[in-house]
Structure 1
Amino acid sequence: MENEVVQKGKRAKSASYEMNIKTTAEKNHALLCIADQLLHDAEKIINENKKDLQQGTVNGLTESTLDRIMLNKERIQAMSDAIRLLVELPDPIGEVLEDIKKENGLQILKKRVPLGVIGMIYEARPNVTVDAATLSLKTGNAVLLRGSSSAKFSNIALVASIHTALKKANLPEDAVLLIEDTSRETAKTLFNLNEYLDVLIPRGSKSLIDLVVREASVPVLETGAGNCHIYIDDSAQLELAKNIIVNAKTQRPSVCNAAESVLIHENFFKTYGKELLNYLSDVGITIYGDEAVCNVLSSAMLATEEHYAEEFLSLTLSVKIVENVYEAVRHINKFGTHHSEAIITETKDNADVFLTTVDAAAVYHNASTRFTDGFEFGYGAEIGISTQKLHARGPMGLPALTSTKFYVYGTGQTRS
């Protein structure tokens, strides 16, 4: 007997062929049905979510993890609102990217088409269930979801609502399928489901992403952990630096675009270091720093290389003093995760050096890293933030979930 992963992979593949011929109007109607259904089922979803939170508390999950799992009326309303925004976005499917007319009369069109079946493996966040489902549907794809045990009840409830909506909209329910068995065996099967999956997208911790990249034979769209840095150059304005760092660190510490490390030019540090560090400490940030930092801030703890490489996902920062922008870039390219990096400076040449030479999907000048997000970049919901360089990079909205196909129109031409 086929296991759950293979069985649902086969069903998703079949549904993907049905989705190929669905019109933009049909897909948008289904999305609106989902937006309405989530609100209708909100109480039921929240009750199932409470089971995950209770189990997570028993299992000793951190507060930041529990926050990522938690659903309430406001978050479900936000999901519904996000789907309505997605409906307003242009459908990329069928977009003509190239139109080539040959001398022999052939017309060659390069068009956007669905990827097919997207496999999604992710941790904690039940909102990913809705994001992945709705983005996939908008782009004519089917999606096979495999969440973690920490959000199992929430994910089952959300997919049940999505299926109700798809049935009302006359779209195939199998276009969105959830693997309910969260054992390691199902993950391993998913990694090698080449017959039915066209791409696999991991979203979660660095260990999960590394595992998928290392073991999957299915093509992987890699989303990265976020060890994001802010470099304060010698010409930076103190108040600007304070505001940007506090926003990037404290506005939502548990997300991948939150700042995890601050690098400070030695001249800036001599003038403003004590004031800046005391300010960060006063707002509740724990600091691991080098010797210079520890000499100025008594509560700071000495940082190791492990601290500089860590994605804390909490109110903790690593801080290091550097000689110039070039040392800052070397440090970031060594310890960063190619996600989002920022420079605070009034010197254009230093900004240009930083933005050009830092290896990251998004680079910022005088702004918080918290903007690396599908909504903020105008894509609507995102399926993840890609930190690789092939196919897609940065927030992956609708165009990232497409491939291309050449349509060749002739009138009997043959090649000699």
Structure 2
Amino acid sequence: MTQLDELGKKAKRAAQELALRDTHSKNEALFNWSKALLDAKKELIDANQVDISKAKENGIAEPMIDRLLLTEERIESIAAGVREVAELADPIGAVDGMWVNEAGLTIGKKRVPLGVIGIIYESRPNVTVDAAALTFKSGNAVILRGGKEAFHSNLALVKVLQQALSETGFPADAVQFLEDTSHETARKFMQLNGYLDVLIPRGSGRLIQTVLENATVPVIETGVGNCHIYADAAADIDMAANILVNAKTSRPSVCNAAETLLVHKAIAADFLPEVEKRLAPFSVELRAEEKAAQFLKNYTEATEADFETEFLDFILAVKVVDSLDEAIEHINRYGTKHSEAIVSSDYFAGKRFQNEVDAAAVYINASTRFTDGSEFGFGAEIGISTQKLHARGPMGLHELTTTKYIIFGEGQIR
């Protein structure tokens, strides 16, 4: 029996037990997780420093190292996220609706766990805890496969969670970690039929594409964020600049950061110099097409590839458009269906943008950085789905469940 088969069998057994546990006991376990994480801050930071040192030795870019870093403040935030999940309503057992058919059968749809969920992800160790908390609260077992960059951090976090599970009478196998980080084992993990009910990749476009090409288990596609801010002809210039600066610079290494700025030609002469001034302290590289370049002092000539790219860095593609139609067409062509925003005081322009842009989250006069499970009130998130089947947008507890029909009869036969 392979290591993966063993993990799968243990996860199946744990999932069967979790599906029957009540909300109160799950919440007690989650509060214990939160306390255990705070108690283990020193060990977790020490393990994380091993990963940080290796990342620096390997020349990994600073924004990616930021994704990897654990500090006392970040561990406290992770622990707080676990408590938030404990305080959320438990979807398991909820009945979505009941009706009576012509035969007199009472039929309902009841929320149940998916079963065993596989998560394959890169760099960010907070994903380890977020994923574990959400899958556990929704009655699912999870097998985690993190990237080698965060190996020591992830392993330390999982050990803390497993110990806390045992202390509260739950199977430690409800949260498991695949320690082999080789590509071959990752490929086999994507094909763990009979054990995994669904696989959720979270990370770079290359990781997600690799999973889609190799997986033989069901996959929920998440994550790639080529997000746009469109400053409309009726935009308030100060508001638009504030939104852009936040969306681009507050944390450029995450999937809800803005990668492209579209500007209506009517405001380009006033707006683009203001954007350049506001972004200068952050050393953002502007990659501008010809119409935008005439209003900028420092820029690199943009290529078509720049408008297709999720930079995850202090780089911004810039384009001037002639109309709202052109902005919508550009976004629907180059966007990744993640998060898009229009800044405009024109009500009808905003509504058209929301109706016609194809994305999981579409904003009027707000930063794309709000596309996040916590910000949406879901506690932590398992990822941001950019597909349309089963789940779309930030995925919380509800998206980690499915339904079964429950039917009550009085001897009816057909």
Task: Compute the TM-score of the two structures, normalised by the length of structure 2.
Answer: 0.98
Letter in 2 for 1:259: A
The whole-number CA distance in structure 1 between the counterparts of 2:282 and 2:147 is 33
Aligned to 1:69: 68
Checking the alignment, whether the CA contact within 8 Å between 1:230 and 1:344 is kept in structure 2 is yes
C-alpha offsets along residues 196-235 of structure 1, whole Å, 9 cap, x if unaligned?
Answer: 0000000000000111112211100110311100001111
The whole-number CA distance in structure 1 between the counterparts of 2:274 and 2:50 is 45
Per-residue deviation at 1:308? 0.8
Aligned to 1:278: 277
Match of 1:187, SS state, is helix
Checking the alignment, whether the CA contact within 8 Å between 1:293 and 1:300 is kept in structure 2 is no
Aligned to 1:378: 377
Aligned to 2:204: 205
Number of aligned residues: 414
Instruction: State how 1:139-150 maps to structure 2 within 5 Å.
Output: 139-150=138-149
The whole-number CA distance in structure 2 between the counterparts of 1:261 and 1:271 is 18
Letter in 2 for 1:300: Y
Aligned to 2:351: 352
Structure 2 gap ranges (5+):
none
Letter in 1 for 2:63: S
Aligned to 2:289: 290
Match of 1:91, SS state, is coil
The whole-number CA distance in structure 2 between the counterparts of 1:11 and 1:283 is 48
Match of 1:296, SS state, is coil
Instruction: State how 1:243-254 maps to structure 2 within 5 Å.
Output: 243-254=242-253
Aligned to 1:314: 313
C-alpha offsets along residues 72-98 of structure 1, whole Å, 9 cap, x if unaligned?
Answer: 111111111111111111000011011
Match of 2:99, SS state, is strand
Per-residue deviation at 1:156? 0.6
Checking the alignment, whether the CA contact within 8 Å between 1:224 and 1:338 is kept in structure 2 is no
Aligned to 2:217: 218
Aligned to 1:14: 13
Match of 2:82, SS state, is helix
The whole-number CA distance in structure 2 between the counterparts of 1:102 and 1:225 is 44
Match of 1:53, SS state, is helix
Aligned to 1:36: 35
The whole-number CA distance in structure 2 between the counterparts of 1:312 and 1:273 is 20
1:165 corresponds to 2:164: yes
Aligned to 1:324: 323
Letter in 1 for 2:337: H
1:5 corresponds to 2:4: yes
Aligned to 1:121: 120
CA RMSD, 1 decimal: 1.1
The whole-number CA distance in structure 1 between the counterparts of 2:43 and 2:269 is 56
The whole-number CA distance in structure 2 between the counterparts of 1:41 and 1:186 is 30
Letter in 1 for 2:140: N
The whole-number CA distance in structure 1 between the counterparts of 2:270 and 2:76 is 47
Aligned to 1:228: 227
Letter in 1 for 2:306: H
Checking the alignment, whether the CA contact within 8 Å between 2:241 and 2:274 is kept in structure 1 is no
C-alpha offsets along residues 36-75 of structure 1, whole Å, 9 cap, x if unaligned?
Answer: 1111111111111111111111111111111111111111
C-alpha offsets along residues 357-389 of structure 1, whole Å, 9 cap, x if unaligned?
Answer: 111000000110010000111111100000000
C-alpha offsets along residues 100-157 of structure 1, whole Å, 9 cap, x if unaligned?
Answer: 1234332111100000000000000111110111101100000010001000001110
Letter in 2 for 1:268: I
Per-residue deviation at 1:393? 0.3
Match of 1:8, SS state, is helix
State, as a whole percentage, how many aligned pairs show the same letter: 50
The whole-number CA distance in structure 1 between the counterparts of 2:388 and 2:14 is 30
Checking the alignment, whether the CA contact within 8 Å between 2:18 and 2:139 is kept in structure 1 is yes
The whole-number CA distance in structure 2 between the counterparts of 1:376 and 1:168 is 31
Checking the alignment, whether the CA contact within 8 Å between 1:117 and 1:144 is kept in structure 2 is yes
Per-residue deviation at 1:411? 2.2
Letter in 2 for 1:134: A
Match of 1:194, SS state, is coil
Per-residue deviation at 1:20? 1.1
Match of 2:267, SS state, is helix
Letter in 2 for 1:156: L
Aligned to 1:261: 260
Letter in 2 for 1:397: G
Checking the alignment, whether the CA contact within 8 Å between 2:136 and 2:174 is kept in structure 1 is yes
Match of 1:229, SS state, is strand
Checking the alignment, whether the CA contact within 8 Å between 2:232 and 2:324 is kept in structure 1 is yes
Structure 1 gap ranges (5+):
none
Aligned to 1:362: 361
Instruction: State how 1:24-63 maps to structure 2 within 5 Å.
Output: 24-63=23-62
Letter in 2 for 1:208: L
Letter in 1 for 2:24: A
C-alpha offsets along residues 333-371 of structure 1, whole Å, 9 cap, x if unaligned?
Answer: 111110000001111121111111111000000110010
The whole-number CA distance in structure 2 between the counterparts of 1:79 and 1:162 is 12
The whole-number CA distance in structure 2 between the counterparts of 1:226 and 1:38 is 30
Per-residue deviation at 1:251? 1.1
Checking the alignment, whether the CA contact within 8 Å between 1:281 and 1:287 is kept in structure 2 is no
The whole-number CA distance in structure 2 between the counterparts of 1:272 and 1:180 is 50
The structure-2 alpha-carbon separation of the partners of 1:282 and 1:159, relative to structure 1 and needing over 3 Å to count, comes to: closer
Instruction: State how 1:78-97 maps to structure 2 within 5 Å.
Output: 78-97=77-96
Match of 1:274, SS state, is helix
The structure-2 alpha-carbon separation of the partners of 1:15 and 1:272, relative to structure 1 and needing over 3 Å to count, comes to: closer
C-alpha offsets along residues 143-180 of structure 1, whole Å, 9 cap, x if unaligned?
Answer: 01000100000111001000110001101111100000
Aligned to 2:182: 183
Aligned to 2:386: 387
Per-residue deviation at 1:283? 4.3
